[in-house]
Structure 1
Amino acid sequence: MTTPTEAPPGPTTVPAQQGSDFARLSRRITEAGLLARKPAYYTVRFTLVGLSLAATWTGFVLLGDSWWQLALAVAMGLVFGQCALVAHDLAHRQVFRKRRASEVGGRIVGNLGIGMSYGWWMNKHTRHHANPNHEELDPDVSPDILVWSQDQAREAKGLPRFMGRHQAGLFFPLLTLEGFNLHVASARALREPHMKRRWLEGVLLYGHFVGYLVALFLVLPVGMALAFLLVHQAVFGVYLGSVFAPNHKGMPMLNGDTKPDFLRKQVLTSRNVRGGWLINTVMGGLNFQIEHHLFPNMPSPHLARAQKIVREYCAELDIPYHETGLIESWREALSHLHEVGVPIRNAPAEG
C-alpha cells in the first residue's frame, strides 16, 4: 500500500521544476548537524571490515587443500562487498574532509584490497550521481548489455538486442560475472587519458591481481583454485549487484528533454529500501538512496535521521517519495526490465 509520500515507479517522465527547494532542505539538514563527520563510527567499521578480510585470508591459508574452501570463498565474496562499500564512502568524502586522505584510503581499499580501480570507479560513479537514470548521461543505464528503456530497446542491436528479449530472467545470472567485469574494466581504464596517477593505480591494482592469484595457486590444487576463484567472484558480483541495483532500477528514466531541478531529479529517480539494522549493514547505508543522492558526503550513520527530514519535506512539496522492502524493490526492478524488452520481443524476426 502506498502512503502519501510514496509512489510506484511507473512514471517514465519527470516534470521540470525551478526554485530553491533544495537550498531550504539543505539548511534543515545542516542545522540538524547531519553533515558532521563520524570518526568513531568509521574507526569501528574499518576495523571490523579489515579484521574480516584478514580473517578470511588467514583461514584460507590455514585450511589449505580442502573443498571447505568453497564455503570460505562465499564468506570472502561478502567481505569483498563490504570493502567495496567502504571504498564507496571514502570516495564520497564521508570519512575524511580532505581529498588526499580519501584518495589514499580509496586506492588502498579498492585497488589493492579488492582489485577495483578507485579512479575508474570515481569517474563512473560521479557521472551517475550527476544524472541518475539519464539515458544519455548515466553510465549505469548505458545499453552495453541490457536495455533500460523501451527507447533503448527499439534502437538495440547485437548483444543488447539478443539479451533484451529475456533480460529479467538473465539479470541475476549476469550478476555472477560482475566481479570479473569490475576487474577487467579497472584494468582497461588504466589506458584512459582522464585517469589520474595511473602508475600508482596500476601498481596497486596489478599488485592485487598477482597476490590474489599467487595465493590461490600456491595454497590450492589447480582445479580447486579455479573453483574458489569462480565462487568467490560470483558471490562478490551478486552481492554488489544486490546492493546497488535496487536503488534506481525500475524508477523513472530521464532523457535530453527532461530537466527537473536537483531535488526532484535525485528523489524521483531513487528508491529507498526498508529493513532495519540488518539491511543497513548489508547495504552499507545505501538503502537510504534518496538521502545519499541528495547529500553524497553525508556519513552513513546519519542517513536514517536525514530520512525523516527529507520524507517530511517531500510531503510538504508533494514530491513522490518511494520506499519499499528489499524483495519488492527487486520485483519492481525485474518487472521494469521485462517491460522495457517488449519492443524487442514484439519485433518481427530478422532474416
Structure 2
Amino acid sequence: MHAPKFAASRSFHQELKRRTAAYFAEAGKTTTGGKSLFFKALLLTSAFVGVYLHLVFWTPPALIGMLEAVVLGLLGAAIGFNVMHDGAHGSFSKRKWMNQFASFTLNVLGGNSFMWNAKHNLIHHMYTNVEGVDDDLDAQPWLRLSPEQPRRLLHRFQHLYFWFFYALLFIAWIFFMDYQKYFKGKIGDIAIKKMTASDEGVFWGFKALHLILFVVLPIWTVGFVGWLVGFLLFAAVAGFTLSIVFQLAHTVEQTSFVVPHETTRKIEDEWAIHQIRTTANFATDSKLISWLVGGLNFQVEHHLFPNISHVHYPALNKIIRQMCTEFNVEYNEYPKMRYAVASHVAHLRELGRR
C-alpha cells in the first residue's frame, strides 16, 4: 500500500512550531521531562516492583492478593502512560540511553519497544484515524471503530460488550499481536523495517524474561490457579485502562475519520490540522487525571508535539488553542472524562446501527 500524502501547505504548522519554540526560549525550559518526571517514574516503578514481590513471594490471602493484582494492573498502565510513552518518543530525558531505558519498561511488561515504535510512533502518529493505515482502528471483526469499516450484525451491540474486549487487549498484545507483526513483517498493510540482530535479541530475550517473571515464577510460588486468577486480573485492568484512555483520544463523536483519495492517495488537510481534527482532549483541568495518565488527556498537544514531554502540555494547550482560533480550526475537547466516555459509547452505538 502506498502511504497517503498530506496537503502541501504547512503555514499552520510552521507558525505553531515558531510560537512553541519562542515559548521554550522565553521560559528557559527544555522540552524533556525534568526532575518531576524522574521522581514520578521512580515512584511508579518502585511501587510496581514492591506489589509484584509481595504478590509472588509473600503469597497474601486470596482477597488481598486479588486487590493487589488490580493495583498492579493500574500501576502497569501508569508506567506505560508516564514512563514508557515519553521514553519511546524521546521526551523523557535529554540523554538517549535514559529514553531507551524508560521505553524498555514496555519490554519487561511483555510488549516490544521496536513494534511499538513502528505501530505507534511511525504509523499512528503520522496517519491518525486514516482508514486502512492507522492500525489502532483495526479491531475487526469484533469492533467497528470507523465509518468505512464493514458493519456486522454483532456490532449492533458493541457499545455494550466493548468493555470485555478492551480488557483483553493486554493479553492479545503480548501473546499474539507482537508475534503476528514479527512473522508477517507488516503492521496492517504497511511493511516495517527489517530488525537488526540487536532488535531480534531484545525481542526474544525480553519475551522470555516476561514469561519467567509473570508466568513461570508465579506458578512456581503460588500455584497455577492462584497465578491464573492474579494474572487475568492484572492483565484485564491494565488492558482496559490502556484501551479506554487511548480510545477517548480518537474514537469519539467529535473526531474526524479520513479516507485518502482513491487514486492520488492525498489527504485534504496539512498534517498538523489533520492531527487536530482527528484527535480530542478530555479533562485537561484535572491535575489528578493528568498526573495519572501521563498527560495523555492532552492528546492534541501530544500529537502535534510528540517529542515534547507531557509535563509541558498545559502550556502548549494555550498556544494551540489561540492558533486554532486565529486559523478557524475546530479544537476538540471534553471538559470531563465521563463526557468523553459517554461520547465514545455513543460513537460505538452509532457505528453499530448504521
Q: TM-score, normalised by structure 1?
A: 0.86
Is 1:332 matched up with 2:332? no
Tell me the equivalent position of 1:297. 307
Bigger mean CA deviation after superposition, 141-150 or 15-24: 15-24
Q: How many equivalent residue pairs? A: 321
Moved more, 188-197 or 248-257: 188-197
Which residue matches 2:75? 79
The superposition leaves residues 130-164 of structure 1 with CA deviations (integer Å, 9 ceiling, x where unpaired) of 011111211111252322233313xx5xxxx2542
1:1-351 alignment, distance < 5 Å:
18-33=9-24, 36-61=31-56, 63-64=58-59, 66-67=61-62, 68-85=64-81, 86-97=83-94, 101-107=98-104, 109-112=105-108, 114-125=109-120, 126-145=122-141, 146-153=143-150, 156=151, 161-184=152-175, 185-193=177-185, 194-196=194-196, 197-250=199-252, 251-257=255-261, 258-274=267-283, 275-324=285-334, 325-343=336-354
CA distance in 2, matches of 1:45, 1:25: 29
Displacement after TM superposition at 1:338 (Å): 1.2
Q: Residues of 1 paired with 2:213 and 2:287: CA distance?
A: 35
What per-residue deviation string (whole Å, max 9, x for no partner) do you get for residues 202-255 of structure 1? 101221112211232122132222111111111111111122110111211000
Distance 1:337 1:81 in 2: 24
2:212 and 2:179 mapped to 1: Cα distance?
13
User: Structure 2 CA distance, aligned partners of 1:307 and 1:22?
Assistant: 15
Q: CA offset at residue 87 of structure 1?
A: 1.0
Q: Deviations over 1:92-116 (max 9, x none)?
A: 1111346555334322x1112x111
Indicate if the aligned counterparts of 1:266 and 1:290 stay in contact, CA closer than 8 A: yes
| Structure 1 position 342, deviation (Å) | 2.2
Partner AA of 1:57 in structure 2: Y
Asked if 2 retains the 8 angstrom alpha-carbon contact of 1:65 and 1:219, the reply is no
2:31/2:91 contact within 8 Å kept? no
The secondary structure found in structure 2 opposite 1:191 is helix
Give the deviation of 1:70 after TM superposition: 0.3
Distance 1:249 1:90 in 2: 25
Structure 1: which 4+ aligned runs deviate by more than 6 Å? Answer: none
Instruction: Give the stretch that moved more between structures: 97-106 or 173-182.
Output: 97-106
For 1:198 and 1:59, how far apart are their aligned partners in 2? 32
| TM-score normalised by the chain length of structure 2 | 0.85
Task: Judge conservation of contact 2:92–2:98 (CA < 8 Å) in 1.
Answer: no
C-alpha distance in 2, partners of 1:100/1:47? 16
Identity %: 24
Q: Which range moves more in the overlay, 322-331 or 287-296?
A: 322-331
Could you tell me which amino acid in structure 2 is paired with residue 254 of structure 1?
V
CA distance in 1, matches of 2:169, 2:157: 18
Over aligned residue pairs, what C-alpha RMSD do you find? 2.0
Distance 1:56 1:37 in 2: 29
- Using the TM superposition, give the Cα deviation of residue 59 of structure 1 relative to its aligned residue in structure 2, in angstroms: 2.0
Aligned amino acid, residue 268 of structure 1: R
Runs of at least 5 residues in structure 2 that lack an aligned partner in the other structure: 1-5, 186-193, 262-266
Question: Partner letter of residue 183 of structure 2?
Answer: R
> Residues 38 and 148 (structure 1 numbering): CA distance in 2 closer, same or farther, change over 3 Å?
closer
Which sections of structure 1, spanning at least 5 residues, go unmatched?
Answer: 1-14, 344-351
Give distance in 1, aligned partners of 2:311 and 2:130.
28
Partner SS for 2:111: coil
* Distance in 1 between residues matched to 2:172 and 2:153, nearest whole Å: 19
SS in 2 for 1:168: helix
Structure with higher RCO (Cα < 8 A, 6+ apart): 1
1:331–1:198 distance in 2 versus 1, CA, 3 Å: same
Contact 2:56-2:222 at 8 Å conserved across structures: no
Matching residue's letter, 2:74: L
